[in-house]
Amino acid sequence: MKSTVLVLFILFSATLGAQTISGVVTDIDGNPLPGANVYIENTFTGTSTDANGKYAFSFTDTGVFVLITEFVGFDNHRQSLQLLGTNHQLAIKLKETFNELKAVTITAGSYGTGKAEKALVMSSLEMVTTAGSLGDINAAMRSLPGTSNNGESGKLFVHGGEGRETGTYIDGIYVHQPYTSSAPNMAVRGRFNPFMFQGTSFSTGGYSAEYGQALSSVLTLNTNDMPDEDALNISLMTVGGDLAGTKKWKNGALTVSGNYINLKPYMSLIPQNYEWNKEPQAYGGSMNFRQKTKGSGMFKVYASMDQSNLSQFQSTRDGTSATLQTDVQNNNQFVNVNWHGSPSKKWYITIGGSFTNNKDQFTRRDDILTQKMMGNHVKGTAKYHLSEKIRIRGGVENIHTDFGNQYKRLNQEGDSSVSFHENLTAGFLEAQVYTSAKLLFNIGVRGENSQYLNRSTVSPRLSMAYKTGENSSLSAAYGWFYQNPMNEHLLNRDYLANEMAQHYVISYNQTIKDRTFRTELYYKGYQNLVKYGNSITAPYTNSGDGYAYGIDVYLKDKKSIKNGSYWISYSYLKAERNFRHYPSTATPTFTVPHSLTVVYKHWIGDWRSYVGGSFRYGSSRVFNDKNSAEFNAGKLPDNLSLDLNWSFLYRQNIILYASATNVLGFEQVFGYNYDVVPNSEGVYGRTPTLPAAKSFFFVGCFITLTKKGETNQLDKINF
């Protein structure tokens, strides 16, 4: 009996000396974390949380101890406790371990593609197989929200900006002349083949401080790295042909290509809206060299040259039926050289440069205008990993431009020439700071100095992103953006200032199982726009201004339909400007209030075919009716087009491709050309500005020859 009492006394005493440590473990948002380990450091005392994140255990010792909480995917939590024999109740919040692969990214104003981006929007082959793009990168980009379709131009018009307000960069290097040349009111094309590039980033606003000389948008193209094997690619098309060969060695590769385009046979079969003296012809070639260097470095050289010409009859609009022959000749040479690599784990360096030589000659009646542009760009950037959550980027660059016009009249001696030389020196610095995996800030500043204008500018840039859910985020961006006036306006006008725009962008993005939804609101304010009168002697000033605001909606679905994918883009735009020759503030003629694009693609296995269609709608644009007292009061018809294409895998290495634009034959009017003088009733006659033809038809055969004979481009399609 005495021994039993003694045992009970010892157990009771031990119980009196024990203390309970209990509480709940949650994440920052208060969600319980079941299965978290909670224990006293350097002891075997502890427990795991239950399904509700709760824990409780007893500990007999007294003194100062450290309580440790661990959970997979979260930072360990350490808390010092002074245990005096009393119970402790602790609520513990764990921070998610930072993982850049899972961290939020900034999407405001940015559509990324390729390896370097987390969300693939459009691969090279998707650009080619998007009905209506006809292998033109810019036409494919116009199927994304925020863009306006100006059929008479062919350039990228973004968020109420002109085509010249979009800057094009290849491997981070500025492209002085990204478009081909054409006759007035005839659309141009981008100069570069989509298959040159492994990644594309299209920014509609609020972009990085790395980029300047663009008021509205930046299109950045990243060239291919190493090819998989030697190959010979043969392209036979209704408009010409293309031949490209690739040779690969251990640490390098070389691709050489040549092409010839002649639209005369095609245009002789398809009715045209204009009379041609000489249908468009072009030939050119390119070289792409890649060589791996020590460590992870890569050295690249891309060079191209092309020559084109055309001759067209255009109305004089002098009240008679007379026409003028307009000849256009273009010569272009382009070289891009760059190296990138990591000399250490914390540093990433990029060095590059480009050279452009472009010559356009326009001949109309006895007048010859020769326009020459020579430009080069040298740039170096560095990225430093200051810590796990902080990246510092900076760089310096110089953009040099020589531009001039030469006027000459046939059968007369002498000419009139005018030119300017510009050296633009710039530098940028920005920091990317993750406060957590859910919150990211990008803070930057860019400085530029124009030697020709003798002016300097400073551009602050700020963007952020917050992860609102497992698959969703909210982004915002703000910044100042400067661009020199267009080259023609700068001739003999070094007193002008840089044009300016301010961007405000906020976007919401959600991606779940290959389904992406995105909406974006934006506002742009313009200052210092070039303004002048209607007379030749009218002074040029920077007194122009304007604004643009709107909303973009984008939905892409590669999951719901087996072997099929689609995307829908809608944009609303409201814009007004008082610039150039405008007598007052008015809606610009190049803006489209409502734009809608629906793209669908489908793989039909039994037919070995990939078919696609695009429906495009643009609401009525304004134009200046010379018979109206109100400026820009005219309304063009709505612009509609249904485009179709079909890729057929004839053999494993042979693809037959056919496409047709505007298959329903919608009438498309891009504006009107008015007579110089009114008729006897005081009315100005006019003719519509139309596309070259109501529809365009294309057929091609693409052959890839390799050792195994199994390679083609079809496997790059992303459903």
Question: Which domains, ranges and CATH numbers included, belong to the chain?
Answer: 2-94 (2.60.40.1120), 110-716 (2.40.170.20)
Percent of the chain with pLDDT over 70: 91
- Does 295 have pLDDT greater than 70? yes
φ, ψ of residue 279 in degrees (nearest 5):
-65, 155
Q: Is the pLDDT of residue 116 over 50?
A: no
Ramachandran sector of residue 169 (left: φ over 0; alpha: ψ -120 to 50; beta: rest): beta
Predicted pLDDT of residue 103: 58
pLDDT at position 274, please?
87
Burial 671-690 (b: 16+ CB within 10 A, else e): bbebbeeeeeeeebbbeebb
Tokens of 634: 């005219």
- Give the model's pLDDT for residue 138: 83
Express each pLDDT in 271-282 by its tens digit: 998 889 999 999
Read off the DSSP letter of residue 60: -
Q: Quickly state the pLDDT bin for 310 (edges 50, 70, 90).
A: very high
Of residues 631 and 17, which shows the higher confidence score? 631
Q: Among residues of the chain, what percentage have pLDDT more than 90?
A: 58
Q: How confident is the model at residue 323 (pLDDT cuts 50, 70, 90)?
A: confident
Q: How confident is the model at residue 108 (pLDDT cuts 50, 70, 90)?
A: low
Question: What is the distance of C-alpha 339 from the center of its chain?
Answer: 22
For strand 166-170 and strand 217-223, is the pairing parallel, antiparallel, or unpaired?
parallel
Higher local confidence (pLDDT), 677 or 550 = 550
Q: What's the mean per-residue pLDDT of the chain?
A: 87
Using pLDDT thresholds of 50, 70 and 90, give the confidence band for residue 4.
Answer: very low
pLDDT digits (tens, 9 = 90+) for 67-76: 999 988 788 8
Cα Rg, the chain, nearest whole Å = 32
Highest mean pLDDT among 228-242, 541-555, 702-716: 541-555
pLDDT at res. 2: 42
pTM of the predicted model as reported, rounded to 2 decimal places: 0.84
Cβ(484)–Cβ(506) below 8 Å: no
Q: What is the pLDDT of residue 718?
A: 37
> Helix H segments across 157-288?
264-269
Is residue 590 scored above 50 in pLDDT?
yes
Residue 586, pLDDT > 50, answer yes
Count of positions (residues) in the chain = 719
Contact 227, 255 (CB under 8 A): yes
Label residue 123 by pLDDT band (50, 70, 90).
low
On whether the CB atoms of residues 155 and 579 are closer than 8 A, the answer is no
- Residue 383 pLDDT exceeds 50: yes
CB 430 within 8 A of CB 461: yes
Beta-strand runs (E) in 451-498? 455-469, 472-483
296 φψ region: left (φ > 0), alpha (ψ -120 to 50), beta (else): alpha
pLDDT band at 13 (very low <50, low <70, confident <90, very high): very low
